[in-house]
Chain A
Amino acid sequence: MNSTIPTEELRSITLSVYRFDPGKDKKAYMQDIEIEVPVNKDLMVLDALVLAKKQETSLSFRRSCGEGVCGSDGMNINGKNGLACVTPLSEAIKGEKLVVKPMPGLPVVRDLIVDMKQFFDQLEKVKPYLITKDEAPEQERKQSPEEREKLDGLYECILCGCCSTACPSFWWNPDKFLGPAALLQSWRFIADSRDQATEERLDDLDDAFSLYRCHGIMNCVSVCPKGLNPTEAISNIRKKLINRKK
């Protein structure tokens, strides 16, 4: 029986979902699930998945806030990574079919859930926290409005993983290339006037893979649900490396 939500007019769409249960399945497969959605009201992809889960209760995916803040429901929606909770069905759907797969490049735990360990391991390498050498002031470490402005477009990252898992360089070398999300965070702290470990941070990035494996493909920019620009951050780190006297 198809699941419905209360509304006057409904239309049927097909959700083609990637399914894989390591305890049961030898191979992953795509399952078509018919759901009914309102004609005159737009739903988000996450709503469609919730409707599908009413029929296929074993369907698994991560979700939490449902409003693009927590970054839990990153997935591949009709070939493009994005957050299911902020991707309108009307934008994502082609015809009457919506294909949903887990984010590429990371091991699948089950259905749409991926193991993010590799992603967070890379993030950890850039030391995503303020490093200071001076003694802590009595109150906060101050910044001028101009210095603070430099962090706009950097601090907003929610670590959903959409960018890194859309990056071919990350697919090829996920253990060596840090990936756009980690590099955006790296620049966020290099650009921070309060941080005092710029040289160490740059030293850590100056190998053949960590940073320089970025080929400027810009998939990261195209998929970022927060509209951030990791390629620009990577380019800024590169300029900083080239211009330093070493």
Chain B
Amino acid sequence: MKGIFGSGTKDFLAVRITALILLVYCIYLTFFVFHNAPISFDVWEGLFQNVFMKIFTTLFLLSFSVHTWVGTWAIGSDYLTIARMGSLGPIVNKLYRTLCALIVGCVTLWSLIIIW
């Protein structure tokens, strides 16, 4: 199994790089909230009207999708297998992957629509 992006190294780097982006975004947002406390609706709306923040949030959402997709695939291939669940394994895994795709896809798309 070559992995989601064609090799183990690419998958590994994808998860680590996207994790870094998620971390930087969370730190930035936390810093913003504490710096502008008590935060009002206008301040919050102003933040997300900013083009930089829109691009940054888009990057966050794409990173979230990639990170979650690779991560949940790895979890499924550890636990939802023939070895652990018998012949039910592949079916449960397919259902789980479909559910993950739906959740990740909907959350990302919906968020992008809200942001832009």
On A, residues with C-beta under 8 Å from B are: 169, 172-176, 205-213, 238, 241-242
Contacts and interface: CB of A to CB of B under 8 A. Distances in A.
Given A207-B3, A208-B3, A238 B77 contact: no
Given A173-B77, A207-B1, A238-B9, 6 more contacts: A173-B81, A208-B8, A210-B8, A241-B9, A242-B12, A242-B13
Interface string B1-38: 11110011101110000000000000000000000000
Closest 5 CB pairs of A and B: A208-B3, A212-B8, A172-B78, A241-B9, A206-B7
B78 A211 contact: no
A172 B7 CA distance: 20
B84 A207 contact: no
Given A207-B1, A207-B2, A208-B3, A172 B8 contact: no
A208 B78 contact: no
Contacts of B84: 172
Contacts of B7: 206-207
Q: Is the interface of B mostly helix, strand, loop or mixed?
A: helix
Nearest to A176: B1
B44 interface: no
B77 A205 contact: no
Contacts, number: 49
Q: Is the interface of A mostly helix, strand, loop or mixed?
A: loop
Interface string B83-94: 110000000000
Contact of A208 (B1, B13, B81, B83): B1
A209 B1 contact: yes
Contacts of B12: 212, 238, 242
Contact of B79 (A172, A174, A206): A172
Contacts of A169: 78
Interface in B69-107: 74, 77-79, 81, 83-84
B70 to A, nearest CB: 9
Contacts of A213: 74, 78
A213 to B, nearest CB: 8
Contacts of A205: 8
8 contacts: A172-B81, A173-B77, A207-B8, A208-B2, A208-B74, A208-B77, A212-B3, A213-B78
B105 to A, nearest CB: 22
Contacts of B78: 169, 172-173, 213
Nearest to B70: A208
Listed residue (A176, A207, A213) with the most chain B CB atoms within 10 angstroms of its CB: A207
Interface in B45-72: none
B8 A206 contact: yes
A208 B1 CA distance: 6
A238 B3 CA distance: 15
A90 B18 CA distance: 48
A116 B78 CA distance: 21
Contacts of A176: 1
Contacts of A212: 3, 8-9, 11-12
A176 B3 CA distance: 12
